[in-house]
């Protein structure tokens, strides 16, 4: 084939693409005659504005659009037309109207996590799963796990002592171990190295191109996912033979009342590990960065943690942490809240319109994706004074609590995060031991952020961790 033939073919393909896109937009604008589509641009055919959005800080992409088009605008990313929403009330509406906007994920991600996982469902099946997950991570249950989490935190920090570490990677080990404790209880033998190896392979392939050919990360991840399913099947059958009741998530999933099949159980175990791990590890990584940059805050957190131990000593209480100690960590809790706001690790989430929806004078056509922009809501000066400043005192309840509905790091509505209490607990416990016993220095560039898919300090924040004198 010579160059002119290739060129000819390329131009023909492009014309077909352009024609199809134009015809589609024409049909949509005709269908929604009373209400126009939201303002905005759709970028290139098929590619849309994907590269523009992902090749820079998404905050800049969103801010430029909002300045030009207002708080609701259309775009085209990852192969889909979409509407982006930066107003907090509108975001809340979208997240709470399950019958109009369903959760949506790329098909490749569904296949990898498992089609039966909680995120992809609505209705009775979803409600049943949510009830089971919530029962495992509600305060009444996790308060009994405090000392186990404490041991995991201490051994994680001990293993990093004196070393140059990548904070995010070490925090991921910590949060994986806590997730496994919640799912499998104290039955350590169940969570062998094979389980972890398979999970790490899945994780490496999760954000790769979904090409299922031998040698690709995606292919390896899919293979590891199959192996992981076999490991879980084995664990389930061992548990069945033991004929004992278990109070952990696997125990609840396996109870007769849950009505779940083994495949559903497996998909949801993978799903919960996935939801619990990187999110919490990212927040911990950001907290170390902000504490390093704000020595007064670090001092206040350390003092709070020391005072908790002093009070226990004075009253002759056991020195191990317990649930009510963690409820007295008010300054540390505000540091977590402020980090959740400013880091906004999930810049946005996805929903899909299940029918044509008229919203605020615009049409959101059926099948379009809708993205509530958490990061923009958390960084708006209308919602938070001096939003770029790390200031935990803004969460001092009585004086300056955030405006209602403007703080949604755990989402909102039927799919809001059920694991928020667990996440907070594991972060508090780790910070208790970290601030009392260690100090750290950041190695290399401090201010760059990478987005892939979570917002994270560049290279996962390399630090040197050393025992406090
Ligand atoms: C700081 C850590 C965490 C953050 C920032 C976070 C954030 C979120 C957000 C924003 C959502 C809603 C997504 C959406 O609406 O599309 C979500 C859902 C979810 N999270 Fe978390 N999460 C964290 C930790 C955890 C932990 C520790 C667990 C462990 C149980 C967990 C389990 C889940 C599950 C199962 C869902 C899906 C809920 C559903 O679809 O009904 N998350 N999380």
- Give the residue-averaged pLDDT of 55-76: 90
Helices and strands, number each (H, E), in the chain: 19, 12
Peptide bond into 453 cis (omega under 30): yes
Taking CA atoms only, the protein residue closest to ligand 1 atom 11 is: 417
- What phi-psi label fits residue 358: left (phi over 0), alpha (psi between -120 and 50 degrees) or beta? beta
Whole-Å CA distances, 223 to 1, 117, 275, 278, 409: 38, 18, 21, 22, 33
Closest CA to 50 of 15, 82, 26, 77: 77
Residues at CB less than 6 angstroms from ligand 1 = 103, 118-119, 130, 133, 137, 272, 275-276, 279-280, 283, 345-346, 349, 409-411, 415-419, 422-423
The DSSP line for 270-288 is HHHHHHHHHHHHHHHHHHH
* Rounded distance between C-alpha atoms, residue 281 and residue 346, angstroms: 13
- Give the residue-averaged pLDDT of 412-441: 97
Distance 415 CA to ligand 1 centre (A): 8
Q: Is the pLDDT of residue 398 over 70?
A: no
Taking CA atoms only, the protein residue closest to ligand 1 atom 39 is: 415
Q: What is the pLDDT of residues 283-340, one digit of tens each?
A: 999 999 999 999 999 999 999 999 999 999 998 888 899 999 999 999 999 999 999 9
Query: Is there a domain that residue 71 lies in?
Result: yes
Counting residues of the chain whose pLDDT is more than 70, the rounded percentage is 91
pLDDT on residue 419: 97
Query: Helix, strand, coil: what percent of the chain each, to 5?
Result: 60, 10, 30
Pocket perturbation via mutation, ligand 1, pick of 279, 282, 349, 350 by most ligand atoms within 8 A of CB:
279
Q: Give the domain range for residue 80.
A: 31-113+345-378
In terms of Cβ atoms closer than 10 Å to its own Cβ (0-12, 13-18, 19+), residue 356 is middle
Taking CA atoms only, the protein residue closest to ligand 1 atom 17 is: 417
Beta bridge partners of 451: 455
Q: What is the pLDDT of residues 18-47, one digit of tens each?
A: 444 444 444 444 444 579 999 999 988 878
Weakest mean pLDDT among 236-245, 355-364, 398-407, 450-459: 398-407
Pocket perturbation via mutation, ligand 1, pick of 419, 423, 425 by most ligand atoms within 8 A of CB:
419
- Give the residue-averaged pLDDT of 253-278: 95
| SS3 assignment, position 216 | coil
Q: Is the pLDDT of residue 3 over 80?
A: no
- Residue holding tokens 């998530």? 249
Any residues with CB less than 8 A from the CB of 238 and at least 6 apart, and which? 190
Q: What is the pLDDT of residues 375-391, one digit of tens each?
A: 999 999 999 999 999 99
Query: Is there a domain that residue 316 lies in?
Result: no
Query: Is there a domain that residue 445 lies in?
Result: no
Any residues with CB less than 8 A from the CB of 380 and at least 6 apart, and which? 86, 88, 387, 406
Of 377 and 80, the one with more pLDDT: 377
Distance 416 CA to ligand 1 centre (A): 7
| SS3 assignment, position 441 | strand
Annotated binding-site residues for heme read 417
Pocket perturbation via mutation, ligand 1, pick of 183, 275, 347 by most ligand atoms within 8 A of CB:
275
* Rounded distance between C-alpha atoms, residue 160 and residue 466, angstroms: 8
pLDDT on residue 2: 41
Query: Is there a domain that residue 469 lies in?
Result: no
Query: Can you tell me which atom of ligand 1 is nearest the CA of 350?
Result: 16
Query: Can you tell me which atom of ligand 1 is nearest the CA of 178?
Result: 27
Whole-Å CA distances, 355 to 359, 365, 440: 12, 7, 52
Query: Can you tell me which atom of ligand 1 is nearest the CA of 130?
Result: 41
Whole-Å CA distances, 174 to 181, 372, 424, 438, 456: 11, 30, 14, 17, 17
**How many C-beta atoms surround the C-beta of residue 19 within 10 A?**
11
* Rounded distance between C-alpha atoms, residue 434 and residue 446, angstroms: 20
Q: For 355-375, what is the HEC assignment?
A: CCEEECCEEECCCCEEEECHH
Total structural domains within the chain: 1
Q: 179 near 145, Cβ under 8 Å? A: no
- Give the residue-averaged pLDDT of 343-349: 93
Q: Which long-range contacts (CB under 8 A, 24 or more apart) does 40-46 make?
A: 40/65, 40/69, 40/73, 40/74, 40/75, 40/84, 41/74, 41/75, 42/74, 42/75, 42/76, 42/81, 43/75, 43/76, 45/14, 45/17, 45/18, 45/20, 45/21, 46/17, 46/21, 46/79
In terms of Cβ atoms closer than 10 Å to its own Cβ (0-12, 13-18, 19+), residue 211 is exposed
Q: How confident is the model at residue 76 (pLDDT cuts 50, 70, 90)?
A: very high
Taking CA atoms only, the protein residue closest to ligand 1 atom 3 is: 279
- Residue holding tokens 């000819």? 8
Q: What is the CATH number of the domain that holds 363?
A: 3.30.43.20
Distance 31 CA to ligand 1 centre (A): 36
pTM comes to: 0.90
Beta bridge partners of 369: 82, 352
pLDDT on residue 259: 94
Query: Is there a domain that residue 11 lies in?
Result: no
Distance 7 CA to ligand 1 centre (A): 48
- Give the residue-averaged pLDDT of 42-70: 86
Query: Is there a domain that residue 159 lies in?
Result: no
Closest CA to 322 of 157, 174, 143, 151: 143
Q: Is the pLDDT of residue 17 over 60?
A: no
Query: Is there a domain that residue 140 lies in?
Result: no
Query: Can you tell me which atom of ligand 1 is nearest the CA of 119?
Result: 40
pLDDT on residue 339: 98
The DSSP line for 321-359 is --HHHHHT-HHHHHHHHHHHHHH-SS----EEESS-EEE
Closest CA to 425 of 352, 351, 323: 323
Distance 66 CA to ligand 1 centre (A): 27
Taking CA atoms only, the protein residue closest to ligand 1 atom 30 is: 419
- Residue holding tokens 């919530």? 134
Q: Taking all residues of the chain, what is their mean pLDDT, rounded to a whole number?
A: 89
* Rounded distance between C-alpha atoms, residue 202 and residue 225, angstroms: 6
Counting residues of the chain whose pLDDT is more than 90, the rounded percentage is 73
Distance 97 CA to ligand 1 centre (A): 18
Taking CA atoms only, the protein residue closest to ligand 1 atom 16 is: 349
Query: Is there a domain that residue 203 lies in?
Result: no
- Give the residue-averaged pLDDT of 147-166: 96
């Amino acid at each position: 084939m010579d160059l002119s033939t290739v060129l000819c073919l390329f131009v023909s393909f492009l014309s077909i693409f352009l024609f199809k896109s134009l015809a589609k937009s024409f049909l949509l604008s005709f269908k929604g005659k009373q209400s126009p589509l939201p303002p905005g641009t759709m970028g290139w055919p098929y590619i849309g504005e994907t590269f523009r959005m992902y090749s820079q800080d998404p905050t800049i992409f969103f801010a430029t659009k909002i300045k030009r088009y207002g708080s609701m605008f259309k775009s085209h990313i990852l192969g889909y037309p979409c509407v982006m929403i930066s107003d907090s009330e509108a975001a809340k509406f979208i997240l709470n109207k399950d019958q109009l906007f369903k959760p949506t994920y790329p098909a490749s991600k569904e296949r990898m996590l498992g089609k039966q996982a909680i995120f992809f469902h609505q209705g009775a099946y979803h409600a049943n799963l949510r009830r089971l997950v919530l029962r495992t991570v509600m305060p009444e249950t996790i308060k009994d796990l405090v000392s186990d989490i404490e041991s995991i935190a201490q051994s994680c920090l001990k293993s990093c002592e004196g070393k140059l570490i990548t904070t995010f990677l070490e925090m991921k080990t910590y949060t994986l171990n806590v997730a496994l404790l919640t799912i499998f209880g104290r039955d350590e033998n169940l969570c062998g190295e094979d389980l972890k190896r398979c999970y790490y392979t899945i994780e490496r392939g999760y954000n790769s191109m979904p090409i299922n050919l031998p040698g690709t990360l995606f292919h390896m991840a899919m293979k590891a996912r199959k192996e992981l399913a076999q490991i879980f099947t084995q664990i389930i059958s061992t548990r069945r033979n033991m004929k004992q009741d278990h109070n952990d998530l696997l125990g609840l999933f396996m109870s007769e009342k849950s009505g779940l099949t083994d495949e559903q159980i497996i998909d949801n175990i993978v799903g919960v590990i996935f939801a619990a791990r990187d999110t919490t590890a990212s927040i911990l990584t950001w907290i170390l960065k902000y504490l390093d940059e704000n020595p007064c805050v670090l001092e206040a957190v350390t003092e709070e943690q020391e005072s908790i131990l002093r009070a226990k000593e004075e009253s002759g209480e056991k020195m191990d942490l317990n649930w009510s100690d963690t409820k007295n960590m008010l300054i540390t809790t505000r540091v977590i809240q402020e980090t959740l706001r400013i880091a906004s690790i999930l810049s946005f989430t996805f929903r899909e319109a299940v029918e044509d929806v008229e919203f605020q004078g615009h049409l959101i056509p059926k099948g379009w994706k809708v993205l509530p922009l958490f990061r923009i809501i958390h960084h708006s000066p209308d919602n938070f004074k001096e939003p770029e400043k790390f200031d935990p005192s803004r969460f001092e309840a009585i004086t300056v609590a955030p405006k209602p509905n403007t703080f949604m790091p755990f989402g909102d509505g039927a799919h809001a995060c059920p694991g928020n209490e667990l996440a907070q607990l594991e972060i508090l416990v780790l910070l208790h031991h970290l601030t009392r016993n260690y100090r750290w220095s950041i190695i290399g560039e401090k201010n760059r952020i990478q987005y892939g898919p979570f917002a994270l300090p560049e290279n996962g924040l390399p630090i040197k961790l050393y025992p406090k004198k």
